[in-house]
Copies of this chain bind each other. A is one copy, B any other.
Amino acid sequence: MDLSSVETKSLKLAANTIRMLSAEAVEKANSGHPGMPMGMAEIGVVLWLSHLRYNSSEPNWINRDRFVLSNGHGSMFLYSLLHMSGYDLSMDDIKNFRQWEGRTPGHPESHITPGVEATTGPLGQGVANAVGMAIGQKLMAEQYNTSKHSIIDHRVFCIAGDGCMMEGISGEASSLAGHLGLGNLNLIYDDNHISIAGSTDLAFSEDVGKRYEAYGWHVLSVDGHDIAAVDQAIAEAAAEESKPSLICARTTIGKGSPKKADTAGVHGSPLGDDELAATREALGWDYDPFTIPQEVSKLFAERGEELSTQYADWQKDFEGWKEANTELAAQLKSQLGLLVPSDIREKLIAALPDSGKPAATRKLSGEVIQVASKEVPALVGGSADLEPATYTLIKDETDFEKGSYSGRNLRFGVREHAMGGVMNGLAYYGGYIPYGSTFLCFSDYMRPSIRLAALSELPGLFIFTHDSIYLGEDGPTHQAIEHVSALRMIPNLWVFRPADGLETALSYEAALRRHDGPCAFALTRQGVPSIDRGSSFDSGSILQGAYIVRESKGAPQLVLVASGSELSLALECADKLAGEMSVRVVSMPCWELFSMQDASYQQSLFPEGVKTVSVEAGVTFGWSSMLPESSGPHLAIGIDKFGASAPGEVVGEKYGFTPEAVNERIRAHM
């Protein structure tokens, strides 16, 4: 919409509608953040009426512009605009702000509200998500556009506040975006000088614009309340296609509130009855609460019609593209559906070396990835500067780099947190199963993003190698101890710690097929033997999370359960105990899958009253909770202290991970 042809009065009224709707919803909930929506109201109007391309009746339209509200506490900004733009978000939903089972939670949640592109609130994450979406757009455009048809040519918008700009993750992601020259990305910085503690003068006086120039961005400044200037700035940002653009928008938080504007008081608290009344008066707002003035509805309806026409044009073009490119069209459909071939298991298993020689599961994972990437076009990813060690580079692919956006290998740099946020952005985008890799110990650096992937039910493979003290000489700063368990605690995250190639391949199968949540892998640095499971073994049983890898002779007197590199140790222990007791060995590569099995299966592995021992080179925490209550007393053998710098096998020995030391503890337990 050409805003210069619209009366300023109407646009101001639209902005005030965002203000009042937000303030009223927060007031009704008696909880929330009115300041941001009130401060960004003009920018919202300009963005939605003049720039953002969407189809509110088709919120998953693949060529829609993406919008991410990184400062997610300003959720009413987004809900107001989604409602006004005709998304399936009613005024009753708005009135139900922050209430049980509502569709307008305190912070935007992508899996709950149509039109919400990303779950935000933990600050800075949205910026990284937007970078991921911009990468997704570039890659998809490169893959599917033809000289005749540009079916993917949308942009990615993100709004971020002072808090987002202070968080390290946004810096990491923005540096990466600058490096990649993501000209399709426009970030609007809500520069209001106020954070929860008060003025940003307390802690934040850097020159944000200059910092972004240093990252290689195109930087603009604008008065965020000047509608024409904002419109012009966004147009200029769009015109710069070789760099991402940052628009530093100077705004007044809580604008419209006579007493609270420009104060921290309006950041995270309702205005209160009196101030809400004063704000109505100051804005000349003469409507009932929760009203969209007709004049404003009309504007958004006109915009909707304009966009419908554009959408119809795109549809026509898309149909032409499909007709001319049937194979490509089939591939796109398959990619968007995150389809995985039905025989993926066989193919992944075939990727394993048949030498039977010991091999590190990180290397086996590397072999599996080569095949997975061929079979699953949605798979895209890389490493935080550790691909030579994590073996995650796709050998037949090029790098995704500035000016060459067709490669599926992403080079994240030493930026684990941004890697997590970018992965989530790719997953939100659709058509991607992202993966990222680093050492397991550094999963801590990206934990907030892993949690958001789990909360938002995103696909994704977090590939963590060097998963224990067996990392060796790098020492305790790099040796994972508590990390596998700490990941297992995140709801809706599946954690795999495979023992060998077969378990690695099956873990990948599960992860590739999973669309409603992420998976994490804990892989060894060191070589592990290929487990002999006998010829009648059904590899599918691995996907029950735990299974009998070796049956005892006669009824078991002990069940020995292990994961990852300790499975071969458990088998050795069982061998050595052969004359003394009847030992069953269970492998448990995935707790989450095991806990989904019915009680009878769980009890079939761990029979009533039979003693159990777990062996895992990590904290013992939680193992006893994993076994059926009816099973016998449990001994957890693990590591409840930090590691040490020495060759891995030495540390293992010193920490009691030898058949002799383990069996001594088992005997004491029996």
| Known pairs A203-B176, A619-B489; A389 contacts B196 (CB<8 A) | yes
**A123 / chain B contacts, CB cutoff of 8 Å:** 414
Number of copies: 2
Q: Is A314 an interface residue (CB 8 A)?
A: no
Contact present for A162 and B414 (CB under 8 Å): yes
Q: How far is the CA of A267 from the CA of B644 in the complex (A)?
A: 22
Q: List 13 A-B contacts (CB under 8 A).
A: A31-B474, A98-B646, A99-B650, A100-B644, A106-B475, A107-B475, A121-B474, A122-B445, A167-B168, A178-B206, A179-B203, A210-B214, A455-B477
Q: How far is the CA of A393 from the CA of B264 in the complex (A)?
A: 16
| Known pairs A448-B444, A455-B642; A383 contacts B167 (CB<8 A) | no
Q: Is A301 an interface residue (CB 8 A)?
A: no
**A209 / chain B contacts, CB cutoff of 8 Å:** 214
Q: Is A485 an interface residue (CB 8 A)?
A: yes
Q: Is A92 an interface residue (CB 8 A)?
A: no
**A481 / chain B contacts, CB cutoff of 8 Å:** 491
A-to-B contact residues, CB < 8 Å: 29, 31-32, 72-73, 98-102, 105-107, 109, 119-123, 162-164, 166-172, 175-176, 178-179, 195-197, 200, 202-211, 213-216, 264, 383, 385-389, 399, 401, 411-418, 441-442, 444-445, 447-448, 451-452, 454-455, 472-478, 481-482, 485-486, 488-492, 619-625, 629, 633-634, 636, 640-642, 644-647, 650-651, 654
| Known pairs A414-B162, A624-B624; A385 contacts B205 (CB<8 A) | no
- Excluding A491-B640, A621-B621, 9 further A-B contacts by CB distance (< 8 Å) are A166-B415, A167-B445, A175-B204, A175-B206, A178-B206, A197-B411, A203-B413, A206-B214, A482-B486
Contact present for A172 and B168 (CB under 8 Å): yes
Q: How far is the CA of A389 from the CA of B176 in the complex (A)?
A: 34
**A476 / chain B contacts, CB cutoff of 8 Å:** 105, 109, 455
Q: How far is the CA of A645 from the CA of B488 in the complex (A)?
A: 24
Checking B73, B109, B163, B214 against A207 with a beta-carbon cut-off of 8 angstroms, the contacting residue is: B214
A641: nearest residue on chain B (CB-CB)? B491
Contact present for A215 and B211 (CB under 8 Å): yes
Q: How far is the CA of A490 from the CA of B418 in the complex (A)?
A: 24
Contact present for A179 and B204 (CB under 8 Å): yes
Give the distance to chain B from A605, nearest Cβ to Cβ, in Å: 18
Checking B213, B452, B489 against A621 with a beta-carbon cut-off of 8 angstroms, the contacting residue is: B489
